[in-house]
Structure 1
Amino acid sequence: MFKREAAPKLYEFVGQPCRNFNILGQTSLIDPLDGKEKHVLSNFALGGTGTVVIIDTLTGEGEQHELPIGNGAWGIVNWNNEKLVIGTCVEQAYLHVLDLRTRTWAEPLKSIGESYFWKMGLGSDGKVYGGTYPGCSLMQYDPATHTLVNLGKVSENPKNLYSRPVWGEAPGYIFVYYGFDTKGLKVYDIAKGTFQEFGRPEAEIREINDRFICTRTNGQLDFYDPQTLQPLDDAGLADQLKPSKITLANGQQLPFIELEDDRLASFRGQDYFIVDKPSSPQDYDTPQPIALAQIPAKAPVTEIFTLVEDPKGQIWGASGFGQTIFRFDPATGEYWNSSSVCNEGGEVYGMVFVGDRLFTASYVGGDHTVYDPDQPWDQLNNVNPHTLRSVGPQLIRPEGRSVLGPDGGIWTGWSANYGVYGGGLSRVDPETLEVESWYDPIPERAIASVAADDQYVYFTTHSGTSGLATRHDIPWQLGIWEPGKGLIDQYDYPASPNETFGIAASQGKVAFAAGTEIHIFDVAERKVVHTVSVSQPCLWLLKLDDEHVAAFCGDELIRIHLHSGEASLLSLLPGTIRAATLTAAGDIYFSVRTSLYVIRARELSQLN
């Protein structure tokens, strides 16, 4: 190990340029302070603290209230125009209650053992219900006593980790969707305190009202009596379903809420809108000339998820959640944040500049986009950024990030859809914008990280996926991929609880991380030739030059020689990094949660 007491701190703090809204839930209320109707948005701020934004539906004026703790989440319920009930994630599921008369928060409540509160609903008993992850539980909040109770696991299948969302419109019942190893609906009987299966396997709730419950299973609609839960003759009932989405001029459909003055309210990225209700159900599917308005509040600081330099020396990055990107000028400290880069929710993982254009890869829709910073922003009409062919729904999360391959293509590593073990690679041709993809090059393995040298694309795998627990009983791999040919070899690493994230390659040498070990693989010899032990897990590897890589291991930055395996401690760090990039000038920019730092090339050169 290394002598920390002698290690310098070479980094400089340069700013917090990543700021965005990531609205996950909405409701409306009649404000007890002025009697006016308000549109309420629940905002998630990864790396920061969530907020709620309360907007006057007539004047457009807004007020923002920061949660006591937590990033924010999907759950938001208006309780009798007296309280707002908010759920949060990611590290701990909290429940918060805002008194609307005093605009003060009650003491936060924890859902013990849970990380996420998903969407919540109001039951006929006046209590608020919500689903969770990873416990797949149903939570019950009693506003009268300010207590939170776990009513139990919704699914008996231990592989099902999610219970989301919930519906409380049918008197006496709470409906919960669960997944993702198996999927379906449970109904909770409030009086009896019991769960039972409801509907067809994999059915989802389409609508609940006082006349019927409608489920949808792979496009098929079924109807049930909301009191007896027995099937109904569906003759004519489908015609009574309310529209659930409204269509923008670009064809995108967005969910909405109804206001009391016969208008509709919704949001899109960094904007919101309020429009008159269409005159007929058919008009909801007709593209509407909807005017978007900027959310009337200051966007909070959020976590930096990806970093890259452009040819002009500007630093670009992506937000940890919210599907936005930012630009930072190292010379002036000025920054700019975008609106949504594509129509789907999620975040940008992959960022690669080819010439002056930025290519991105995003979760959750498996989207590729191309953006020209020198041209006007017009994502709404799919002009700039322009969305290319998606690799979803088979591949949805580009957690392997993106690299420029030896063939000039942009290569991205993906994990599979929710509830499916697997992954894949994609390639974007920067000239033709053609997208190619390969599903499961190594069966049932997600792509954890991707690198390239002048001959091959390299990737590591893992056995996790969205919606299911990671498997630790099977090996993971280092894959060697030759553009134009495919997978030419793989190196199996023994089953281990150590996840693999970092990878870097140069001239036939590949460094890859496995927990507290960094391995150097010789492509010609097809074996690991050096192993470096470190004291903290390595989450990022960065090529410094043809012979060296930088390993970000907890709060230590370690330089490793690819040919000898010799390692030295370059600098202590302010925390565990989220992303890093090397500039053409030799500066290392990296992020720790919401903060951007730099280690100057001149500082590194003094250590040589």
Structure 2
Amino acid sequence: MAHTVMLDPLDGREKLVLSNYAAGQTGNLIFIDTVTGEGESIMLPGDGGAWGLVNWRNEKLVVGTCPQHAYLHVLDLKTRTWAEPLQDPGEKYFWKMTLGSDGNVYGGTWPGCSLLRYDPIHHKLQNMGRASDNPKNQYSRPVDGSLPGYILLAGGYDEPFLKAFHIESGTFRDFGTPGFVVREVTDSFICTAKEGELEFYDPRTFERLPDDGLKEKLTVNAVTLPGGKRANAVPLANGRFAGVRGQDVFLVGSLAETPELFRIPVEAPATRIHTIACDEEGRIWGSCEFGQTIFRLDPESGSEWNSSSVCDAGGEVYGIVFVDGKLFMSAYVGGDHVVYDPALPWDQLNNVNPRTLMSVSPDFVRPEGRSVRGPGGGVWTGWSARYGTYGGALSRIDPLTLQVESWRDPIPNEQQVSGLTADDRYLYFATNGGASGLPYKDVRCHFGVWEPGTGLVFEHEFEPGEGTGNAIAAARSKVYVRAGTCIRIFDPQTKTFAGDLATGTACSWLVVVDSRTLAAFCGNKLLLIDTVSDTVLQELELPGKVGAAADATPTGDLIFAVGEAVYMLPSVYIAGIRS
């Protein structure tokens, strides 16, 4: 999530420092010797990981964590001991952190949209105030301390802003174009950037400068990877460079050198599972929350495998669908569609295998509704809109041609597609008020039926309090969808809701077990439901809330995940319940 470079006072060697995020676990710092490539891992005292990381005078590492506590952790590099954690009430995330010209460390936050200041001498944390007067703005990121006397910061996402915080007076002032972020600061200009567009400002007056010739003066520390892709590089001592690409790192003697990637040289911690699926051979595939990778587990042999990054932009995989042995995936944050053939060598750098197809970005970035095999054999995905906007979309991959189509706002209600299922004729989807970068919008959720070639053929608005999510499944010519603490049962033939089933707790997942059985994961309970009578066959206690579940394996085993662990309910047990 972040990196810096330090001269380690413990052994006098230069180290590349990485901060690692482990969803559902405790994050860690990774020290990599820039000569030998050897690694050392140090656990954080708490929280999942850290966007904020600052090397303070090669004496301390200042770490700002997320996603639960926004801890300010400080590691003494000589003793490898942690100071007492500091917090600001109500904050969950530290975003990027920077060293100010006054020797203090500054960081942006979520959800308070604040600028926090840490005094390394006295070990004190101070809130310098909200960076925006708009109460809907929750993010203050990123921050930059390169301009003496100021901290430059951007944020949003309801109303983007770009500001300069004056350290001495403790005041904020607007400058530049909202939506841009600071790219580089020199003695002669401040460069801001947005989606490839650049603007330049005077670092003394903050007045706009003409662009003539300034672009050529920007620092570009990047290398060309095998296959031609570019990657940012971090300057090291003696003119050398280092870099990080997902799960891999590189060390080179110059920017002209083609780097050789190698895995981060410490053991990766187990991480909360985000998506899980089973292939035709009964092997379990999945992804981890914020993980950028996929994994494979063979229940028979116990063998397991983890990939490198599945695509260039983010790569947190939400949807996995198998077609003829290939994995069709949908990923955040680039709105990506990705196809991978396990029978062929891994070659993501050349966009060969896995291969990234057409994206729905920038308008849609998060495949919140996951992916399903639907009408015509297509792979369909439900999307949430770009940061700072409400809305959703549907997309379709043709598995034969690999062509991608998309349809924005299948129900024109500015709601994301939160869940998706299908049969041979229709797509069935749920929507709700979730969004990226904005608070959840309290709205009446919807259920829709989509027919390819026609569009929306049925729409239903749920009552207030009947919230929807990922839990939706098509089974035995019916559709089951979570609505609050109830499962509503839809009849596609009559296009009416023909019944409901109270669950007591909102369901996180609904998956098909066999032709007569549906599995509903509701809180710490598993309900096995007879889809003929729509009654609960049995209720089982689970070890925790299920974060992901898959339709049954070819042999009828039920696979689901709690935290970082994969569980199986064997088909013989399910058959025993029925008998």
Matched, 1:445 2:415: yes
Q: Aligned partners of 1:569 and 1:186: how far apart in 2?
A: 58
Q: Report deviation, 1:544.
A: 2.2
Aligned twin of 1:436: 405
Does residue 570 of structure 2 align to residue 593 of structure 1?
no
Q: In the alignment, does 2:348 pair up with 1:379?
A: yes
Determine the structure 2 residue equivalent to 1:180.
157
* 107-116 vs 421-430, which moves further: 107-116
Question: Where does residue 367 of structure 1 map in the other structure?
Answer: 336
Which residue is 1:389 aligned to? 358
Q: Deviations over 1:310-351 (max 9, x none)?
A: 111111111111210011010122211111111111400000
Tell me the distance in 1 between the aligned counterparts of 2:39 and 2:101. 31
Q: Answer yes or no: is the 8 Å Cα contact 2:445–2:466 preserved in 1.
A: no
Q: Distance in 2 between matches of 1:218 and 1:296?
A: 33
Q: Partner of 2:541 in structure 1? A: 572
Deviation at 1:273, TM superposition (A): 0.9
State the one-letter code of the partner of 1:113.
G
2:232 corresponding residue in structure 1? 255
Moved more, 380-389 or 195-204: 195-204
2:44 match? 67
Question: Partner of 2:165: helix, strand, or coil?
Answer: strand
How far is the alpha carbon of 1:102 from its aligned partner?
Answer: 0.9
CA RMSD of aligned residues (A): 1.7
Any idea what the Cα deviations from partners look like across 1:83-120, whole Å, max 9, x if unmatched? 11111111221121111101111122223211211111
Q: Percent identity?
A: 52
Partner of 1:481: 450
**Equivalent runs, 1:461-540 vs 2, <5 Å:** 461-472=431-442, 474-496=443-465, 498-540=467-509
Secondary structure of the residue aligned to 1:74 is strand
Whether the 8 Å contact between 2:490 and 2:497 is mirrored in structure 1 is yes
| 1:110 aligned counterpart, secondary structure | coil
Partner Cα distance (2:212, 2:428) in 1: 57
Choose the corresponding residue for 1:128, options 105, 108, 132.
105
- 1:507 is displaced (CA, Å) by 3.9
Displacement after TM superposition at 1:177 (Å) = 0.5
Tell me the distance in 2 between the aligned counterparts of 1:194 and 1:163: 15
Further displaced range: 385-394 or 226-235: 226-235
Match of 1:267, SS? strand
Distance 1:585 1:400, change over 3 A: same
The 5 Å alignment of 1:315-330 reads 315-330=284-299
Query: Partner amino acid for 1:191?
Result: E
Distance 1:491 1:313 in 2: 37
Residues 102-181 of structure 1 mapped to structure 2, 5 A cutoff: 102-181=79-158
How far is 1:80 from its partner? 0.5
Q: For 2:19, which of 37, 42, 47 is the aligned residue?
A: 42
Separation (CA, whole Å) in 2 of partners of 1:220 and 1:534: 51
| 1:294 pairs with 2:263 | yes
Q: Is the 8 A contact 1:138 1:150 kept in 2?
A: yes
* 2-structure distance, mates of 1:583, 1:216: 48
Alpha-carbon distance in 1 for matches of 2:309, 2:530: 40
Contact 2:276–2:320 (CA under 8 A) maintained in structure 1 = yes
* 1:234 Cα offset (Å): 4.8
In structure 2, C-alpha distance between the alignment counterparts of 1:388 and 1:468, rounded to whole Å: 28
Alignment of 1:213-362 (within 5 A): 213-216=190-193, 220-232=197-209, 234-243=211-220, 245-278=222-255, 289-362=258-331
Provide the C-alpha distance between the structure 1 equivalents of 2:577 and 2:198, rounded to a whole number of angstroms. Answer: 68
Output the TM-score relative to the length of structure 1.
Answer: 0.91
Residues 390 and 435 of structure 2 are in contact (CA less than 8 Å); yes or no, is this contact kept in structure 1? yes
Structure-2 residue corresponding to 1:458: 428
Contact 2:189 2:202 in 1 (8 A): yes
Aligned length: 576
Partner of 1:186, secondary structure, is strand
Between 239-248 and 62-71, report the one with greater CA deviation.
239-248
| CA distance 1:605–1:48, shift in 2 (3 Å) | same
CA–CA distance in 1 between the matches of 2:202 and 2:56? 26
2:8 & 2:498 partners in 1: Cα distance?
67
Which one of 375, 381, 390 corresponds to residue 421 of structure 1? 390
Paired letter, 1:487: L
CA distance in 1, matches of 2:353, 2:12: 42
- Hey, what's the Cα distance between the residues in 1 that align with 2:565 and 2:240? 41
Change (3 A) 1:306 1:81: same
1:83–1:97 CA contact under 8 A, matched in 2: yes
2:237 counterpart SS class: coil
Unaligned segments of structure 1, at least 5 residues: 1-23, 280-287
Deviations 1:184-215 (A, max 9, x none): 21111111111111212323212112332122
Say which SS state the counterpart of residue 602 (structure 1) adopts. helix
CA 1:120/1:385 → structure 2, altered by over 3 Å: closer, same or farther? same
| Deviations 1:18-51 (CA, angstroms, capped at 9, x unpaired) | xxxxxx1111011112222111111111122111
Contact 1:453 1:507 in 2 (8 A): no
Q: CA deviation at 1:235?
A: 4.4
Higher relative contact order structure (alpha carbons within 8 Å, sequence separation ≥ 6)? 1
Name the aligned partner's letter for residue 318 of structure 1.
Answer: S
Task: Verify: 1:204 aligned to 2:167, yes or no.
Answer: no
Distance 1:131 1:454 in 2: 48
Query: CA distance change for structure 1 residues 184 and 253 in 2, over 3 Å: closer, same or farther?
Result: farther
Q: Which runs of 5+ in 2 are unaligned?
A: none
Does structure 2 conserve the Cα–Cα contact (< 8 Å) formed by 1:42 and 1:51? Answer: yes
Asked if the contact 1:464/1:470 (under 8 Å) is kept, the reply is yes
Q: Deviations over 1:357-401 (max 9, x none)?
A: 111110011111111111111111111111111111111111111
SS of 2:566 mapped into structure 1: strand
Q: What's the counterpart of residue 90 of structure 1?
A: 67
